[in-house]
Amino acid sequence: MTLKTLLNWLDNSPRAVFLWVFAACVGMLAFGQYLQQSLGIDPCPMCIVQRYATVLVAVFAAVAAATGKRSMHLGGGFFMLLSAGFGAYVAARQSWLQWYPPEVVSCGRDFYGMIETFPLQRAIPMIFKGSGDCSKIDWTFLGGSIANWTFLCFVSFSLLALALMARTARRVKR
């Protein structure tokens, strides 16, 4: 796909771009669930924050895709940019921790340790804070960890949001 083709696609069908971003986010979340449920890879607290950011990007993209209004495309792109930027920051921080692990790990407790140590009413909220070590690399693809790939996805979403906002704002001024 050439740059000219991409820019034409952004101009002619921003709703389709938002829909593709939504589908990519759903795919990322489904893959995260697969890794957790089928492969037994527990998410760390930073992974869970990245999941929340992915959900926010998906929601803003879906809302923007559902309407043909330019103002909604601008707003959806703006909030998608904020959510993706936050997710990229967290993923970059986790990548940094993976490349330069700290001497003392203080990212969170494991699930079974929480259940054994705390009563159930205190352990349940802790489950949603995640478990595991944020600097640990449990899975790789083409040399990149989950945090590395998630960072690339968030940066892609941010760049798409910026391009959509710029193209939509330019079309409004005409």
> Where do we find the tokens 């330069």?
100
pLDDT value at 128 more than 60: no
pLDDT value at 66 more than 80: yes
Report d(CA 76, CA 143) in Å as an integer.
33
DSSP-assigned letter for residue 2: -
Report d(CA 160, CA 21) in Å as an integer.
9
pLDDT, residue 57, reads: 93
Q: Cα-flanking dihedrals φ and ψ of residue 84, to 5°?
A: -65, -35
Average confidence (pLDDT) over 121-140: 58
Percent of the chain with pLDDT over 70: 64
pTM given for the model: 0.71
Q: Which long-range contacts (CB under 8 A, 24 or more apart) does 80-86 make?
A: 80/18, 80/21, 80/157, 80/161, 81/158, 81/161, 81/162, 81/165, 83/53, 83/56, 83/57, 84/53, 84/57, 84/154, 84/155, 84/157, 84/158, 84/161, 85/154, 85/158, 86/53
Tokens representing 161 are: 């949001």
Of the candidate ranges 7-11, 14-18, 74-78, 147-151, the one whose mean pLDDT is the lowest: 7-11
Domain limits, the chain:
14-107+134-173
DSSP-assigned letter for residue 119: -
Q: Please work out, in degrees rounded to the nearest 5, the angle formed at the alpha carbon of residue 55 by the alpha carbons of 101 and 44.
A: 25
pLDDT value at 154 more than 90: yes
Is 14-107+134-173 in CATH node 3.10.105.10? no
Q: Across the chain, what does the average pLDDT equal? A: 75
